[in-house]
Chain A
Amino acid sequence: MDWRWDFTFDVVLPRMWEAAGVTVWATVASFAFALVGGLILMLLKTHRSIWVSRPATEVIEVIRATPLLVQIFFLFFLLPEIGITLPPLTTGILAIGIYNSALCAEVYRAGFQAVPKGQWEACIALNMSPYRTFRNVIIPQSLPPIIPALGNYLVAIFKETPLLSFVAVAEIMQVSKLIGAEYYRFTEAITIAGIFFLVMSLIAAFGIRLVENYVKRSILH
């Protein structure tokens, strides 16, 4: 194996730096989408009417059972056909966001269900409004399990962004492939992409543990 440091510093790193920005943006945007989308799906799934909850449940099931890559391709082909033209990056963010909304919905649901039934009953007995019930009693107690789970999905989304290279978004993986094809040298670019993901994931895992401990300490005394 030969590793060329000059090639690494002059060509690979500058272009990867730009691509890292795309990766991070795709991660953050998809995550934000999933946080909101998951909440909406959760509310639909737990809706009183079976005509709302049932379809929502099925949609969540189908999304979860389908490979993310298939969903990315599906949106990529479908949207132009129905007259919506979006840049590949936006389409990709949408696909990753929708996919993870279905996963986050389960996280929210599990979190709220983890609050003992007696807490809801106590709120009714104290004649609290639904808003105050959620704001002061339910949410504070369901956050400790929800936050680390959401953190894990943030890391998972980060590791899913290389799939955007399938639709030619210039994120890290795509750029390292392009560099490889241009210079006939794959080693440096792909290895650096790997190290980038590894380091970021380890940092994120450490961060999640910190947040988890903080939430536990500050909410449950």
Chain B
Amino acid sequence: MNRVAIVSALIAFLVGLSAATFSELRIFLPAILKGAVVTAQVSVLSIILFLFMSLIAGIGRSRGNTAIRWISTIYIEVFRGTSLLVILFWMFFVMPEFGLTLSPMVAGVAAIGLNFGAYGAEVVRGALGAVPKGQTEATVALNMSAYRRMTRIVLPQAIAIMIPGMSNLTIELIKATALVSAVTLVDITYAAVQQNQLHYRTIEIFLITVMLYYCLAQFVRFGGEALEEYFTHHLNKRV
């Protein structure tokens, strides 16, 4: 909570300072804020896909039958092994060859979500493996079904373990949304570049850009810390 105060004070100070110092702020700020809306849209949709893929592939790779395990492993290795920008271009330029033309927004969300989903799957897999073996044995002794075991016992405990890793990945994901400017989406980064080419105010424009990304990252960080607090409440031995 202390850090929220510090960050908001810092932001207010910087905004005031820029407004006072750089008179042209009002000229290029609206365009960049419009870009921030696009960045937020891409981020939210990608995060949903990222979390979904992480869970599916992470559970699939650690608990599925042989076929599911193979499919999950191939997905994870392919989407981690290639570069995000390559995946993005492939979605945007090559998918139409398969008869599937994606809008820039869909291509961006799909590429980012699938790429980070592959990293997230490994976080989920690690967390599932970190739930003590005795917990699974207790569910067998209580004759619980595999589905109940996962949803009632293993996942609730694994979620607490995976939150720090997933929150770091979410921050990386938001930074990675800058790449959607490659497929003509005008996000914060693209808007900044456009404004800079119009006004040649490199330092001010990029200062604002950095600030916006920094705020988004802090937002996720606090959310992650709150969630972690909530989920680990009873998991650790308290003295």
Please measure, in the bound complex, the distance between the C-alpha atom of A166 and the C-alpha atom of B213, giving whole angstroms.
Answer: 19
Asked if B175 and A68 sit within 8 Å, CB to CB, the answer is yes
User: Nearest CB to that of A192 among chain B residues?
Assistant: B86
Q: CB-CB contacts of B160-188 with A at 8 A, as 1s and 0s?
A: 00000000000100011111011000000
Q: Which B residues are in CB contact (< 8 Å) with A166?
A: 181-182
Q: Which A residues are in CB contact (< 8 Å) with B98?
A: 1
Which of B89, B97, B203 has the largest number of chain A CB atoms within 10 A?
Answer: B89
| CB-CB contacts below 8 Å: B69-120 with A | 77-78, 80-87, 89-90, 93-94, 97-98
Q: Which B residues are in CB contact (< 8 Å) with A202?
A: 77, 81
Q: Does B200 contact A (CB under 8 A)?
A: yes
Q: Does B8 contact A (CB under 8 A)?
A: no
Asked if B202 and A173 sit within 8 Å, CB to CB, the answer is no
Please measure, in the bound complex, the distance between the C-alpha atom of A67 and the C-alpha atom of B214, giving whole angstroms.
Answer: 10
**Among listed A6-14, A46-54, A74-82, A122-130, interface-contacting one:** A74-82
Q: Which B residues are in CB contact (< 8 Å) with A160?
A: 83
Asked if A190 and B90 sit within 8 Å, CB to CB, the answer is yes
Asked if A173 and B89 sit within 8 Å, CB to CB, the answer is yes
Given known contacts A74-B202, A177-B89, A201-B82, A191 and B210 CB-to-CB distance under 8 angstroms? no
Please measure, in the bound complex, the distance between the C-alpha atom of A66 and the C-alpha atom of B218, giving whole angstroms.
Answer: 12
| CB-CB contacts below 8 Å: A190-214 with B | 190-191, 193-194, 197-198, 201-202, 205
Q: CB-CB contacts of A157-173 with B at 8 A, as 1s and 0s?
A: 00111110110000001
Asked if A70 and B209 sit within 8 Å, CB to CB, the answer is yes
CB distance from B52 to the nearest CB of A (A): 23
**Among listed B21-29, B129-137, B147-155, B189-197, interface-contacting one:** B189-197
Asked if A66 and B213 sit within 8 Å, CB to CB, the answer is yes
Please measure, in the bound complex, the distance between the C-alpha atom of A2 and the C-alpha atom of B99, giving whole angstroms.
Answer: 12
CB distance from A59 to the nearest CB of B (A): 12
Q: Does B206 contact A (CB under 8 A)?
A: yes
Majority SS at the chain B contact face: helix
- Interface residues of A, CB < 8 Å — how many? 36
Q: Does B217 contact A (CB under 8 A)?
A: yes
Which of A66, A177, A193 has the largest number of chain B CB atoms within 10 A?
Answer: A66
Asked if B217 and A65 sit within 8 Å, CB to CB, the answer is yes
Q: Which A residues are in CB contact (< 8 Å) with B193?
A: 73
Please measure, in the bound complex, the distance between the C-alpha atom of A50 and the C-alpha atom of B182, giving whole angstroms.
Answer: 41
CB distance from B133 to the nearest CB of A (A): 26
Asked if A197 and B81 sit within 8 Å, CB to CB, the answer is yes
Q: Which B residues are in CB contact (< 8 Å) with A163?
A: 85, 179
Asked if B97 and A1 sit within 8 Å, CB to CB, the answer is yes
Asked if A70 and B210 sit within 8 Å, CB to CB, the answer is yes
Please measure, in the bound complex, the distance between the C-alpha atom of A66 and the C-alpha atom of B175, giving whole angstroms.
Answer: 7
Which of B81, B84, B87, B182 has the largest number of chain A CB atoms within 10 A?
Answer: B81
User: Nearest CB to that of B171 among chain A residues?
Assistant: A65
Q: Which B residues are in CB contact (< 8 Å) with A176?
A: 89
Please measure, in the bound complex, the distance between the C-alpha atom of A65 and the C-alpha atom of B181, giving whole angstroms.
Answer: 19
Asked if A186 and B94 sit within 8 Å, CB to CB, the answer is yes
Asked if A193 and B86 sit within 8 Å, CB to CB, the answer is yes
Q: Does A69 contact B (CB under 8 A)?
A: yes
Q: Which A residues are in CB contact (< 8 Å) with B87?
A: 194
Asked if A198 and B97 sit within 8 Å, CB to CB, the answer is no
Q: Which A residues are in CB contact (< 8 Å) with B85?
A: 162-163, 165, 173
| CB-CB contacts below 8 Å: A136-167 with B | 159-163, 165-166
Q: Which A residues are in CB contact (< 8 Å) with B209?
A: 66, 70
Asked if B179 and A69 sit within 8 Å, CB to CB, the answer is yes
Please measure, in the bound complex, the distance between the C-alpha atom of A202 and the C-alpha atom of B82, giving whole angstroms.
Answer: 9
Q: Does A187 contact B (CB under 8 A)?
A: yes
Asked if B82 and A77 sit within 8 Å, CB to CB, the answer is no
Q: Does A219 contact B (CB under 8 A)?
A: no
Asked if B202 and A78 sit within 8 Å, CB to CB, the answer is yes
The 10 closest A-B CB pairs, nearest first, are A186-B93, A67-B178, A201-B81, A162-B85, A67-B175, A159-B83, A198-B81, A69-B178, A77-B202, A74-B206
Given A70-B192, A187-B94, A197-B83, output 12 extra A-B contacts at Cβ < 8 Å: A65-B210, A66-B210, A66-B214, A69-B178, A69-B179, A69-B189, A81-B200, A159-B83, A161-B83, A163-B179, A165-B182, A186-B94
